[in-house]
Structure 1
Amino acid sequence: MTVFGRISASRLAAAAGLLFAGIGTAAADPAEIKVLTSVALTSALDELAPQYERATGNKLVIGYSLIADIRKRIIAGETADVIILSRPVMDELQKQDKFAPASIANVAGTAVAVTVRAGAPKPDIGSADALKRSLLAAKSIVYADPAKGGASGVHFAKVVDRLGIADEIKSRTILVPGAQAADLVAKGEAEIGVGQTSEIVPVAGAQLVGPLPGDLGSVTLFAAAIGADSKASEAAKSLIQFLTGPTAAPVFKSKGLEPG
């Protein structure tokens, strides 16, 4: 249970008020904060960004892309005030001194999950064998192209190989460049989709079946850090405090993420 389950609504409101007050103090001079983050956090950050901007006066400029793409860009020298990527990648970049010291903080996690069109019968994915049968029975399956580096696509490709059905479903597989699997399912262009829970829950017309079963499952934990060359480090710190605080937690949960 998170802190949200342990405090009353009145205490939550008070905590949120104190947090916003603290943020406002930290960002007395409004700043522009460049953020680079995974597409898996798009729906949550699109809702949270205006709340943070209203509370602080700061302006967020958010760039979304695949984890692998942002990782490559940062290694090549691109920088941002706040970077939010999967924890293993963040730890790797920290070893290359890409972040301010001791600035990494866990934000939220999301599982690789299955989706079908709203109203359609939910396939059985309760075990590895059940998942295998459902995938073999599906007319079409869509997930992120693993060659593009999306975390869910890379993982699911390994799952398909492990189940031993890669050749059998190849002709019925649709690969998308990023987080579009749930959109295609919602439009009826694919029967089963696989992606991050956070990429499924916000999509109208798509229903979440559930995470991949047992040891086939994977949870991506996202973490944030301040860029080593940030010229707005105090404002960046206030954003990370906001994203890891009580105001952001229910928004993350509503978008299929678990607060970190």
Structure 2
Amino acid sequence: MHYISRLLKSLAIFLALAGGCTGAAGAAEIRVLSAGAIEPGLKAAAAAFEKQTGHGVRITFNTAPELRKRMAGPSDFDVVIAPPAVVTDLAAASRLAEVRANVGRVGVGVAVREGVPLPDVASVQALRASMLAADSLVFNRASTGIYLEGLLQKMDINAQVEGKTTRYSDGAAVMEHVIRGKGREIGFGATTEILLYRDKGLKLVGPLPADVQNYTSYTAAPLASSRQPALAQEFVVFLSSAVAKPLFVAAGVTD
């Protein structure tokens, strides 16, 4: 009788441990390669997805040019989130599954360090004058920077500000430069990136004037080579859900 009791107890423990192992084995992780401009909103959405599903999300952020380089060869990512041009190229190369989700769009903002007089950016003419008066202009070499190059040429001040322009490979370096500045530095970047540094000594002056504003849209898609195709698709669909959308909006990513 005692033998049977011990046997039943051992069996119960085994089943409990087996059940725990099954639960752990059932949890999976997907790898996401994303453009950096949507970082705050995507991190919040990924955390909500993890809480809802029990699966993990590991995210790598890059600028759009670097993202293209990362995707030029074989990839072990499950989902990519990028501007439409990058997504179109990947789709043409048969790198993506059919599912797509519009994550949102991000505009360009103007930033200065906390405590300095705010430049006037309310109109195109005011922005032009503020750029000319600034000690330096700081922006990246990615999507925002490429647009700023063209804008300076349209404003016909490219030659006048070229000598006081500093460029970085990514938005984080731009923000750090402006925060450490000593004069009248004006930084430009995705509004989401600027907001990310508002507690670190950076001030969002405002968006570019509506007449010259530039929005970059971001689309999510599962990779055809994903190791977790069903979960990758589930995550992409989640990004445009009623749960995720407010998280993106709160972080400055709009429809």
Please give the TM-score of this superposition, normalised by the length of structure 1: 0.80
SS in 2 for 1:222: strand
Match of 2:50 in 1: 53
- Offset from partner CA, 1:202-253 (integer Å, 9 cap, x none): 2122222222224422100101000011121111122122221122222212
Contact in 2 for aligned 1:142/1:175 (Cα 8 Å)? yes
What pairs with 1:158-237 in structure 2 (closer than 5 Å)? 158-180=150-172, 181-188=174-181, 191-203=185-197, 204=199, 205-237=201-233
- The partner residue of 1:74 within 48, 71, 77 is 71
Deviation at residue 126 of structure 1 after TM alignment: 2.4
SS in 1 for 2:187: strand
The total of aligned residue pairs comes to 227
Match of 1:134 in 2: 130
Identity %: 33
- Offset from partner CA, 1:175-221 (integer Å, 9 cap, x none): 12101223322333562100011111121222222222244221001
- Offset from partner CA, 1:56-86 (integer Å, 9 cap, x none): 1211121111111112322333252110001
- Offset from partner CA, 1:123-159 (integer Å, 9 cap, x none): 2222222211000001121100x2xxx1111111111
SS in 1 for 2:61: strand
CA 1:187 to 1:48, structure 2 compared with 1: closer, same or farther past 3 Å? farther
Distance 1:48 1:202 in 2: 16
SS in 2 for 1:193: strand
- The partner residue of 1:153 within 130, 145, 160 is 145
Contact in 1 for aligned 2:136/2:165 (Cα 8 Å)? yes
Root mean square deviation, CA, Å: 1.9
1:120 to 2:122 alignment: no
Distance 2:117 2:249 in 1: 25
CA 1:78 to 1:215, structure 2 compared with 1: closer, same or farther past 3 Å? farther
Contact in 2 for aligned 1:75/1:93 (Cα 8 Å)? no
Distance 1:167 1:76 in 2: 38
Counterpart of 2:35 in structure 1: which amino acid?
S
Counterpart of 2:222 in structure 1: which amino acid?
I
Distance 2:238 2:203 in 1: 30
Contact in 2 for aligned 1:112/1:195 (Cα 8 Å)? yes
Distance 2:26 2:96 in 1: 23
CA 1:162 to 1:79, structure 2 compared with 1: closer, same or farther past 3 Å? farther
Distance 2:111 2:241 in 1: 30
Please give the TM-score of this superposition, normalised by the length of structure 2: 0.82
List gaps (5 residues or longer) in structure 2: 1-24
Counterpart of 2:245 in structure 1: which amino acid?
A
- The partner residue of 2:37 within 36, 40, 46 is 40
Deviation at residue 116 of structure 1 after TM alignment: 1.6
Deviation at residue 100 of structure 1 after TM alignment: 0.5
